[in-house]
């Protein structure tokens, strides 16, 4: 089975902490994405990457950065977590016909 | 902004067909219709996509009107596990490179399958 995995299902952090969310895919996909999902707002694209070491800003990149050192791994970094970054974070990678999503990380920033 | 309009919620009896409508009146000639669903506390899952012909796979059928301004996703025999939010998305065919992999999700239809 193809898979996109995320390092944590649930995470609780304090304001100001640096937070790393890891995503790994085993499908040799070139394109990977980070979204956040909030009630009433749907999925919003934070960053995406179409190749190793390549990244592009999505719709809401402020407060986030990303790292893609290896093809299979795409990391989302919250440099200094804030309470408004409490959300569900979804990682995805793109195949020929579909986008495969990970199970999500529910992050709470206190 | 999402280019689609879906009813916010629908109910369906277990074992019956679930027909989920989607309006996409501004769809352009090179845009496909994709359907995804999201079961509670999970990531979205691909269901099916099509351009203008009707499509069927092991999960569902997709019926696209001749003018392509609307479509219907059909789950032929809904089960309780089909309870989810269903998203209809219009976009150019996914391929590699650039931002073309991005999906714009609207609010979807919350389908509740009841025993």
**Confidence check: pLDDT of A17 > 70:** yes
**Identity of the residue in B41, B44, B49 whose CB atom sits nearest the CB atom of A101:** B44
Give CA B14 to chain center in angstroms. Answer: 19
Helix (H, G, I), strand (E, B) or coil at B29: coil
Task: For residue range A60-102, list pLDDT tens digits in order.
Answer: 999 999 999 999 999 999 999 999 999 999 999 987 778 899 9
What percent of chain B lies above the pLDDT cut of 90? 71
pLDDT of residue B93: 66
Helix (H, G, I), strand (E, B) or coil at B32: strand
Per-residue pLDDT averaged across B65-78, rounded?
96
Subunit contact B105:A43, Cβ cutoff 8 A: yes
Among A31, A32, A100, pick the best mutation site for testing chain B contact (most B Cβ within 10 A): A31
pLDDT of residue A2: 62
pLDDT bucket at B1, cuts 50 / 70 / 90:
low
Among A35, A38, A42, pick the best mutation site for testing chain B contact (most B Cβ within 10 A): A42
Nearest chain A CA: its distance from B46 CA (Å): 6
With an 8 Å Cβ cutoff, is B107 touching chain A?
yes
Q: What's the CA gap between A96 and A83, in Å, rounded?
A: 37
């Amino acid at each position: 089975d193809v898979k996109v995995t995320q390092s944590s299902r649930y995470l609780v952090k304090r304001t100001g902490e640096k937070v790393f969310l890891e995503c790994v895919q085993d499908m040799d996909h070139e394109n990977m994405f980070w979204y956040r999902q909030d009630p009433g707002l749907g999925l919003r694209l934070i960053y995406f990457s179409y190749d190793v070491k390549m990244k592009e800003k999505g719709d809401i990149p402020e407060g986030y950065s990303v790292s893609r050192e290896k093809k299979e791994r795409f990391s989302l970094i919250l440099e200094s977590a804030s309470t408004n970054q409490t959300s569900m974070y979804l990682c995805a990678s793109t195949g020929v016909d579909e986008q495969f999503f990970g199970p999500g990380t529910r992050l709470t920033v206190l | 902004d999402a280019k689609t309009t879906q009813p916010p919620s629908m109910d369906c009896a277990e074992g019956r067909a679930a027909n989920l409508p989607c309006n996409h009146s501004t769809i352009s000639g090179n845009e496909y219709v994709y359907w995804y669903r999201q079961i509670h506390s999970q990531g979205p899952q691909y269901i099916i996509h099509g351009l203008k012909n009707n499509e069927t796979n092991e999960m569902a059928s997709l019926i696209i009107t001749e003018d392509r301004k609307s479509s219907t996703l059909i789950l032929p025999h809904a089960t309780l596990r089909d309870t989810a939010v269903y998203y209809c998305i219009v976009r150019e065919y996914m391929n590699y490179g650039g931002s073309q992999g991005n999906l714009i999700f609207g609010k979807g239809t919350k389908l509740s399958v009841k025993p």
